Amino acid sequence: MRNNKRVLITGADGFIGSHLVEHLVLKNYDVRAMCLYNSFNSWGWLDAIDKRIIKNTDIVLGDIRDIKSVTKSCKNIDIVIHLASLIAIPHSYNSPYSYVSTNVEGTLNILETCLNNNIERIIHTSTSEVYGDIVKMPISEKSVPYAKSPYAASKIAADQLAQSYYSSFGLPVSIIRPFNTYGPRQSNRAIIPTIITQLLSNKKKIQLGSLYPTRDFSFIEDTVRGFEYSLNSIKSVGEIINIGSGYEVSIDDLVKMLCKVTGRYPEIITDTKRVRPKKGEVFRLKADNKKARDILKWQPKYNGKLGLVKGLKKTVEWFSDEKNLEKYKSDHYVR
């Protein structure tokens, strides 16, 4: 039996979006998946999921930067989960205008369309990168954002727009703020796929950026549940809610964990091209997830060191499949 709420997911062709489509369709939600229009007739990662799920998904091609495209995608929709954005931090140094166009103006198009079409709920996706250099750990939602990259600045602007539409127009917006989500199908621009793909390529030396920063890694299954729980929680309207494991690990220790999981122990080389500007580095991230527990009744299933190792093993298993690994270019680093 189908859920009677019609859900639009923007950015459905991406890493988190494709997993969310899978999850909600299997939970019998009526899902429309908005993918970025392209001339290759590609649906991104949706091309890789079970065809039975695709059969039960309404897929539309469009672009959140185009208001007409957004309006068409939102037709006869009850709930919008807005994931579409440019997310690669290094690329934002080279192409800041594209980040403003997609992340800020694209979000404005979503908000305006939802307001004009009386959409029941909007779930807007933020990022832990907006916190910048927070000294007090764990990081709560009350912390003041501080941009350390053009990407983070564009996401702060998008978050502020979402909050302003809630305050000014009563638009029922919830802001979900995932920490470092990882898992199968993640882009090679993220640290975990970068490490795994190089390890599985049997390199004697692997190239990485800074090893000293710490991150709070959240397995994709936990992040997706956070979105679903927000979708079903009226108490989340008007709120910003962290979705993170609450466990902090350095990139150096992460590399050691993945070496142990894969059984490969290459030499680690620092590639200066992969190192962020010193003033642009976010040194620590660790989520305070109490609000998610209280409001959403959500808690991570992959928590602590054991939870991280469990998630890493699942991720390595997926990447170890030859047909998955061949989609990645471990020898080619793109900022």
pLDDT digits (tens, 9 = 90+) for 215-273: 999 999 999 999 999 999 999 999 999 999 999 999 999 999 999 999 999 999 887 77
- The string of pLDDT tens digits covering residues 224-237 is 999 999 999 999 99
Q: What is the pLDDT at residue 330?
A: 63
- The string of pLDDT tens digits covering residues 186-212 is 998 899 999 999 999 988 899 898 889
Q: How far is CA 1 from CA 21, 26, 56, in A?
A: 17, 11, 12
Helices 191-200 and 304-320: crossing angle, nearest 10°? Answer: 50
The average pLDDT across 3-7 equals 86
- Please count the other Cβ atoms lying within 10 Å of the Cβ belonging to residue 143: 17
Q: What is the pLDDT at residue 275?
A: 74
Q: Which of 5-14, 89-98, 276-285 has the lowest mean pLDDT?
A: 276-285
Q: What is the pLDDT at residue 2?
A: 60
Closest CA to 309 of 227, 193, 217: 217
- Sorted by where each starts, the structural domains of the chain and their CATH numbers stand as 85-325 (3.40.50.720)
